A and B are shown apart, each in its own frame.
Chain A
Amino acid sequence: MFQSRKLSIIVRRLLQAIPVIVLSTFIVFGLLKLVPGDVAVTLAGDNASDARIAEIQHIYGLDRPFLVQYGSWLWKAVHGDLSSSLVSSESVLSSIERCLPHTMLIVVLAMLLALVIGIPLGIAAASKPGSWTDGFVMTIASLGVAIPNFWLGMLMVAFFSLDLNWLPATGATPISEDFWDAIRHAILPACALASGGIAEVARQLRSSLVEILSSQQVRTLHAKGLPPSSILWRHGLKNVSVNLLTVISLLFNRMLAATVVVEAVFAIPGMGNLIVNGAIHRDFPVVQGVVFAMVLIVVTLNLLTDVLYSILDPRIS
């Protein structure tokens, strides 16, 4: 029964993902067509005649109706073909394969930092609400939320790279080439990305733990004679794990989006970089491909979150 319940969650969520993918790629496609500018003008080069531009539009199928263009892109995408870049003619799939590891490395590293620092801070604050520790943690957390990550990124580059010369200021090394060098390059961007995450994890964990620790169910645990350590670590944490999971999954999505800015600051050739360049040149297959990949990642993560919910909380089915 338990297994079939989980299976039905997975099937239901996968079916829900289809309209999400279609709708999001459609909207992005529409936006690209709405903004002025045309890739054909770029491709035709300077001083090209109108006839030349029209010719190029015809070659790439840009003169077809909007819906036909979208339909043909979607049809190919469903069959695993994400087309090629109109500007560089590199296959979009191989562009993504090249860029995604850079982005995922800094997101995963930032997530680990957020959890490893945020969770102990949240627990420390919640176990003594109103104390000096609590006030300190909450001040740090407010700062973390308020400070923009690109500004923090620039500050860290100035200090750790330019002054101390500890870490590289910009660029990235593929993790497959040199693992430690890849990590060295990823540390600063990950820290910049993690600052908001640390604050978010600490604040959310603190508030849900404080709520649980003052609840009636915890009063029962005290009445049973359990020591405070067992109440906090065994009952408290298991009860807030669902809230924490929600925070993590939202945070992951937000970090993925924030890489666009952070990659620009640190000049990392990741997904953010790819989509920004694609959008500037109206290179719609690239933009569509990146959006498609991101939606797939987000949908998969949400699916994983839902399955974990049902494991952590017996009331959720």
Chain B
Amino acid sequence: MTTTTLPAYDDAVATFEPVIGLETHVELGTNTKMFCGCPTDFGGEPNTRVCPVCLGLPGSLPVANKAAIEATIRIGLALNCSIATWCRFARKNYFYPDMPKNFQISQYDEPLCVDGYLDVEVDGRTVRIGIERVHLEEDTGKTLHVGGATGRIHGATESLVDYNRAGIPLVEIVTKPVPGTGALAPEVARAYVTELRDILRGLGVSDVRMEEGSLRCDVNTSLNRPGEEWGTRTETKNVNSLRSVERAVRSEIIRQASVLEAGGRIVQETRHFSEETGDTRPGRSKEEATDYRYFPEPDLVPLAPDPAWVSALKAALPEPPRVHRKRLQESWGLSDLDMQSVVNAGAVELIEQTVAAGATAAAARKWWLGELARRANESGIELSAVGATPAQVAELQTLVDGGKLNDKLARVVLEGVVAGEGDPTAVMEARGLAVVSDTGALTAAVDAAIAANADVADKVRGGNLAAAGALIGAVMKTTKGQADAKAVRELILQRLGAN
């Protein structure tokens, strides 16, 4: 019998069944904050987008933003939730300096949307993710610890608080526990967040940029042996990209499995995911659970969305991403498998936009899944962050189709585009990469090649057309590859009277 050392992950999921759950926070793209009229746009000098209300000054009162309530209801509807006919905001009480009132206005036992689901496809299989609740709350400010080495409070000489973000409407979407996905758990988690992001983008309620924090994800993971009760879960925070969602679940499965295999127990705690190391580190323990002393927010009247309004919002929902993708797949003429690879690469929208900018679907797919996907993988970044826009890719293809670039030159131009040198035409011109189509220059190069290789020229004249290859090679060499090989061949044959 041979002993093989299984990779730790395969080992883990062979012994344990993971249960995952996801809590996603979405900053809504409303013009103004949740409870006041301050602008919500990202950036700005610290503490310039504030007023008595979002600073929680004594005497100030919140007034709920209708656009935010509408966006939350639309999200709930898109996730197949029931919309509450009557619900309330609640205060979540805890002390932290980035929270101006030392309580957060959130929702507790009466969320706006409950009990929905989202279907995601992984590995040709449809997994239904139950949605527990979708509720609305206000974001906190941001604390910056300066003077220390780590940027953490420990060792810092000063803590600065920026309240620009305080009061930005935040929607929390909580899934039900998702059991039964086995080894696919990390991919299911990623697929869920991807699908959710696409839905939110389609609804136009948020710019859903994980890197800027407008889409933030916490991942709950637990393991149990088959047939046993679900295990103790951990909550992993700081998961800031789709790729990280998958990595965080995978690494937490491996970590928990090794703890359990060694006879240890899992501590219910918050853990932080590290992009650099790809693993999770313990944060604060949740064993001594904070008592948030929730109670209904007395400063706000209950919400009672008019059923007619909710129906109208439902009727006006955009096409769900799954249906939209099915339509794209048909128009692009892709097999299920090909479409799946497009989806997995996060390229659906990029290809769609590239096609909209004038490229064929085949060409768009070739660039995004080929050269650009390779670069994204190498750098460990999302395809959308690779540095080329759909419009640039379409432009590049137009240059190829127009004979100004050959395939090899196009790759070089793309490299320049990705490096931020400008649009393809500009890069081509700046680097002098265009195919030589000036017949005069080309004829001179051909004549020079014939003169330098008289013996080869004779063979061609004698009818050995295959020998022309050597002359073409010589021309390509003198033109540094910037000649159209087909045009060169025709010119050589013409000059030698062999065609």
Q: Do A and B come from one complex?
A: no
Residues of B within 8 A of A (CB): none
